[in-house]
Amino acid sequence: MAPQAHADSTRSQQWHLDAMHAEEMWRTSTGQGITVAVIDTGVDPANPDLKGRILDGKDLAPAERPGDEHTDYNGHGTGMAGLIAGTGAYGGGKGAFGLAPGVKILPVRMPAPSDINGFAGPSYLSKAIRYAADSGAQVINISMTERLNSPELADAVKYALSHGSLIFAGVGNDGAKGNPVEYPAATPGVVGVAAVGKNLRRTSESEFGQQVDMAAPGDEMVHACGGRTGLCKGHGTSDSTALASASAALIWSKHPTWTNNQVLRVMLNTIGGPTDGAKRNDSIGYGIVRPRIALKDPGDPGPADVYPLPDLAAAASPSPSPKSSDPKGGSGSVPDKNTPAPSAAKDDGDGGSGKLWTALGAGAVVVLGGAAVAFVLVRRQRSAGRLSREQAATAATAYLNTVAYPDRAGTVTALPATGTPYAYGWTFQFDFAPYPQTTTPTNASSAYVIVVPHSGATPHFPPAHLPTAQYMEMCAAGVQPSVQSS
């Protein structure tokens, strides 16, 4: 995120607001009455475009880090707040605007990666999510990612949903660097957000996969931030997540009696879906957010108490099928940065790509429940995919340190060299290092064994009464004896 000098009018540089018809929407809703929690690096309330928008929140960073939730240690959190709630007040109205300038921001400052044990991220995210929900934030924005998931994080997401909040999280910016599954975007119950550019296509850095639920602009973004100029230019799924959160706030402000489920359902039902007629694909999910359409013609918000995306119910299913007919679990689409959103259904007279943004998708998408694979550490694995040795060893190590042996977090290591591939998944030996964060285990081999299924199901220990190879063959054949998960 690079600092920018203020132009005569910063608003003229904010292409995404033109594309989304912000001024038109602001005549109907600015997000007033809605609180958006920004779980990030802190938010600077002194930024000229955010004055009066920032509430007191919570600081989860360690005592050694100076300041509190109003001290942004790298400018990122202030930038996300600016994209959501910037008022353009700088220079008498020549500053940067957010998509929902009427909302209030609840800042929750997270530790920097260097502040904590590498396995502690999900625990801090869990605390932040619970705090935001308990504080009454209708929308929770998480423009941060973790490579690890945990039952604690999954429980925190369910807690927030049960308390009426909606959670949006960026799917990550390593789409061209291995495309790893990242959390909490891939946690059931979290809306995973990808990024598109002016051409309506997934940006090359935006990650893709079944964790993607929707997309929003995330390229060449100009917004208020914590830099010396108070203005930054950035890109990525952090930015697109902020716009998805702001879109929810605009809708909720106009319909304050709706529940979180109804707001999300209307967002999905008015979204601009894929051009090929599919309900979703792995690049933009169900489509690109269109709050303008949601404000004009929201349609039926549906039941108040039913979560509209299928992943939450699928995660609770006792026997989910990896070959689900659910579009989120079996779209079969090829992830491609050139997968566009729909072209215009009609000419609104605003020329160029603006016509595409105006009429994203002619048909409404109705999202129904359905079965999908339940994942704990590797959620929404692409259909027919098989984990690499490295992916499986990483998942095994994460599980061992966060679920199986949390009291020894940082000391347990799956030994990649011992990995044995089977049709059902991988097996690894693992061992305990003498001290936390020691990278070299005590032995090159070990009698301890853990299983990591290709399906993305929870890693577990094989039963002691069966040879490991026999157990793996039984699992591949669909005959699974009881297993130990901790």
Does residue 113 sit in the same domain as residue 22? yes
* CATH label of the domain that carries residue 15: 3.40.50.200
pLDDT tens-digit map of 28-69? 999 999 999 999 999 999 998 999 999 999 999 999 999 999
- pTM of the entire predicted model: 0.69
- Asked if 83 and 239 touch (Cβ cutoff 8 Å), the reply is yes
- Asked if 193 and 214 touch (Cβ cutoff 8 Å), the reply is yes
Give the residue-averaged pLDDT of 335-346.
37
Block residue for tokens 């550019």: 197
Question: What torsion, rounded to 10 degrees, do the Cα atoms 374, 380, 381, 383 define?
Answer: 100
Closest CA to 214 of 281, 291, 298: 281
139-142/35-40 β-pairing:
parallel
DSSP secondary structure string for all residues of 319-381: S--TT--SHHHH--PPP-TT-BPPPPSS--S--THHHHHHT--SSPPPP--------SSS-SP
Does residue 402 sit in the same domain as residue 441? yes
Asked whether residue 85 is assigned to any structural domain, the reply reads: yes
pLDDT tens-digit map of 269-320? 999 988 788 889 999 999 999 999 999 999 999 999 999 999 998 887 654 4
Residues spanned by the domain of 254: 2-358
Does residue 440 sit in the same domain as residue 297? no
Residues marked active site are found at 40, 76, 238
Q: What is the pLDDT of residue 179?
A: 92
- Asked if 342 and 290 touch (Cβ cutoff 8 Å), the reply is no
Who's near 22: CB < 8 A, 6+ residues apart? 97, 99
pLDDT tops 60 at residue 228: no
Does residue 284 sit in the same domain as residue 399? no
Does residue 432 sit in the same domain as residue 350? no
pLDDT tops 70 at residue 123: yes
Does residue 346 sit in the same domain as residue 394? no
